[in-house]
Amino acid sequence: MQFIQTAIAISASIFLLLGCSKGDSGGGGGTTPTPLPPVPIALVAARIDNTTALTGFTNYNIKLTPAIRLSFNNAVDRSSVGSITIKENGTIGVGTAVNYENGDSTVVLNPAAALKALNRYTVDATTTLKSIKGGALSTPFSISFATQIDSTDKFPVISDNALLDLIQQQTFKYFWDYGHPVSGLARERSNATPETVTSGGSGFGIMAIPVGINRNFITRAQGLTRMQTIVSFLKNTAQKFHGAFPHWLNGTTGVVIPFSTKDNGADLVETSYLMAGLLTARQYFNGADAAETNLRSDINILWNAVEWNWFRQGSQNALYWHWSPNYNWDMNVKIQGWNECLITYILAASSTTFAIPQVVYKDGFARNGAMQNGNTYYGYQLPLGAANGGPLFFAHYSFLGINPTGLSDVYANYQTQVTNHTKINYEYCKANPKGFFGYSNLCWGLTASDVQGGYNANEPNNDIGVISPTAAISSFPYTPTESMNALKFFYYKLGDKVWKQYGFVDAFSLKDLWYADSFLAIDQGPEIIMIENYRSGLIWNLLTSCPEVKNGMKNILGFTAPYL
């Protein structure tokens, strides 16, 4: 009886199971199980070597053989991983080896060959990337990174003296080889119309000629011939306004090229740089023969014709920067310190024909002491100027020919000023408060220069990540160790990027992986001159040997220095 009851129960169970398996359609067929939905895939973490890599900005200082780990929330379908690519500069594909970790939820990319140093790469993934559960990448991504500096030397290592010779000689070619063929003056820049010559930059180029002769880059006869060409053009062809020169000239015709709409006449600051160069040449070419005697006579004609005191715009106790034959004094820019214009007041006081009195310097340039600072930055007290000192050309242009060593007046010790300004600039770059890639104790120097897409007065208070080689190199007399370290870094480590036919390019940014294609007269000239002042004091000795300059500095402006 028990057996019969058990059999009936089993039969009933089978009947119930068969009944449950019937389709609702009544057709007697079985149902298809509802498939699971595809599971999408998403990036949850990215690492390049041992560092987290983020999207939305550039990851810097990446090794040339990196391991790139991309971790997802699900295992990837290996057949779809080809949708992850590494590209050079966003366009050129890079061969890649692929490995997998964490149950295929981490993809490891290794470039098949070493990447290029100081180059930009991207890791890109598209929605064709799939999970093993059939879901697409929910959000495509791109990770940008820049590779590290190649620390190998780009050129054979030579002695420090030989390196300084090389820098001066190569940079000198800007003025000698690229000088305007008619006027002999310096072209404004290498990447603009070759007819535009610069009066101030030409003053720097003129100062470089005695350096070129003394270093045997050219002969004295060659230097004299070039000076005769320049001085003849300035005397007989170039436009002048009350003895002063414009910022820019046409190198063939001598006609003004406007610097801006109303800046189409005299530029007294540029004129002062030009006159400083001419007086330097006058002191250097001191021979008794007719050629050098006549050169000195022509330079004196140009020097004595500058009506410095006329630029007081009446009898004001200040000098004014510009005057236009069309717009008169409309620009109305006082030449006030602290900046690069001390030399303008020194030469204005030194004139034997149109000198200014001391009160013009005190009220105009020194602003009755308002140009003084006295605060401390990065451990260095700054006697004059704006916070952190401003761009470094303030410490260069006036002191190409005026030796700041032991130089003082009632407002400052100028040796302290230029040295501490430079050290503040160096310490700022070393500290790198904005975290710009490339800044270091070897890669420093902020001053006005070309930048990507324009021009900028680079300095600690206006820092956009651009290093200008002229800043550190032209500071050799003030920071010889720091400047030599920078020079070696620029030449040996970055030489394949920044060392060209006329020396170092104007500027570069390792942050943006940008290198200027330009050279500027006002930046190349100080490199030659200030290296020489560091090595021999040549240009300092020449300009400060002028009796007019000694008198103007000592007896008119009240400066003291061992050489006065």
Domains and CATH numbers, the chain: 40-147 (2.60.40.1220), 160-556 (1.50.10.140)
Residue whose structure tokens are 């007019």: 548
N residues, the chain: 564
Beta strands in 112-206 (DSSP E): 120-125, 134-137, 141-147, 196-198
Instruction: Give which of 76, 8, 6, 92 is closest to 42, Cα–Cα.
Output: 76
pTM score of the predicted model: 0.92
Question: Which residues, in sequence order, are CB contacts of 151 under 8 Å at separation 6+?
Answer: 493
Report the SS3 class of residue 544: coil
In the chain, the percentage of residues whose pLDDT exceeds 70 is: 94
C-alpha–C-alpha distance, residues 302 and 296, integer Å:
10
pLDDT digits 0-9 by tens, 474-529: 999 999 999 999 999 999 999 999 999 999 999 999 999 999 999 999 999 999 99
Rounded CA gap, 133 and 365, in Å? 76
Residue 12 has pLDDT above 50, yes or no: no
The confidence band for 15, taking pLDDT boundaries of 50, 70 and 90, is very low
Please write the tens of the pLDDT for every residue from 399-430. 999 999 999 999 999 999 999 999 999 999 99
Residue 78 is given by DSSP the state G
CA-angle at 409, arms to 341 and 202, nearest 5°:
25
Residues 199-243 pLDDT 10s: 999 999 999 999 999 999 999 999 999 999 999 999 999 999 999
Q: Which of 394, 419, 341, 365 shows the shortest CA–CA distance to 526? A: 394
C-alpha to C-alpha distances, 116 to 18, 99, 174, 455, nearest whole angstrom: 70, 22, 31, 29
Burial class (CB in 10 A: 0-12, 13-18, 19+), 443: buried
**Confidence tier at 349 by pLDDT (50, 70, 90):** very high
Over the chain, what is the mean pLDDT? 94
